[in-house]
Amino acid sequence: MKEACGVFGVYAPGKRVANLTFDGLFALQHRGQESAGMAVSDGDTVTVVKDMGLVATVFDERTLSGLQGHLAIGHTRYSTHGSSDWAGAQPVYRPVGRAGFALGHNGNLTNTRALAEKVGMLPGSIATDSDVVAELLAQSFPESEDLSTALQLVLPILEGAFSLVLMSSERLFGVRDPYGFRPLCLGRLGPADAPEGWVLASETPALSVIGATFVREIAPGELVVIDADGPTSLEVPWLREVTPRLCIFEFAYIARPDSRLYGREVHETRCRMGALLAEQAPAEADMVMGVPESGVPAAEGFARASGIPYGQGLVKNRYIGRSFIAPGQQERADAVRRKLNPLTDAIAGKRLVVVDDSIVRGTTQRSVIRMLREAGAAEVHLRISSPPWRWPCFYGIDTPSYEELLATDHTVEEMAEILGADSLAYISIENLKEAIGADGGFCDACFTGDYPTPVALAARAPVSLGRTEPVAARVHQAALPGV
Q: Judged by CB under 6 A, does residue 181 bind ligand SF4? A: yes
Residue span binding ligand SF4 (CB under 6 A) among the ranges 13-21, 271-279, 309-317, 443-451:
443-451
143: Cβ contacts below 8 Å, ≥ 6 apart = 153
Residues 137 and 146: their CA atoms lie apart, in Å, by 10
Q: Judged by CB under 6 A, does residue 226 bind ligand SF4? A: no
Smallest separation (angstroms) from ligand SF4 to the CB of 248:
5
Among 248, 415, 421, 471, binds ligand SF4 (CB under 6 A): 248
Written as one letter, the residue type at 466 is G
| Helices within 257-388 (DSSP H only) | 266-280, 296-306, 329-339, 344-347, 363-374
Treating both helix axes as pointing N-terminal to C-terminal, what angle do 147-154 and 129-139 enclose, rounded to 10 degrees? 120
Treating both helix axes as pointing N-terminal to C-terminal, what angle do 363-374 and 412-419 enclose, rounded to 10 degrees? 50
| Helices within 16-92 (DSSP H only) | 18-27, 55-58, 61-65
Q: Judged by CB under 6 A, does residue 443 bind ligand SF4? A: yes
Among 249, 262, 302, 310, binds ligand SF4 (CB under 6 A): 249
Instruction: Give whichever of 209 and 360 is closer to ligand SF4, judged by the CB atom.
Output: 360
Residue span binding ligand SF4 (CB under 6 A) among the ranges 35-43, 247-255, 278-286, 377-385:
247-255
Among 73, 96, 247, 421, binds ligand SF4 (CB under 6 A): 247
Of the candidates 210, 146, 199, 248, the residue with the CA atom closest to the CA atom of residue 7: 199
Each residue 126-155 as x (binds ligand SF4 by CB under 6 A) or -, in order, gives ------------------------------
Residues 380 and 126: their CA atoms lie apart, in Å, by 47
5 tagged catalytic: yes
Determine contact, residues 356/327, Cβ cutoff 8 Å. Answer: no
Smallest separation (angstroms) from ligand SF4 to the CB of 287:
31
263 phi and psi, to 5 degrees?
A: 80, 5
Smallest separation (angstroms) from ligand SF4 to the CB of 445:
4
Q: Judged by CB under 6 A, does residue 96 bind ligand SF4? A: no
Smallest separation (angstroms) from ligand SF4 to the CB of 396:
7
Determine contact, residues 102/92, Cβ cutoff 8 Å. Answer: yes
Instruction: Give whichever of 301 and 452 is closer to ligand SF4, judged by the CB atom.
Output: 452
Each residue 368-407 as x (binds ligand SF4 by CB under 6 A) or -, in order, gives -------------------------x-x-x----------
What is the total count of residues that contact ligand SF4 (CB under 6 A)? 11
Q: Judged by CB under 6 A, does residue 253 bind ligand SF4? A: no
Distances (CA, A) of 373 to 113, 147, 421, 476: 48, 59, 10, 15
Give residues in contact with ligand SF4 (CB under 6 A): 181, 247-249, 393, 395, 397, 443-446
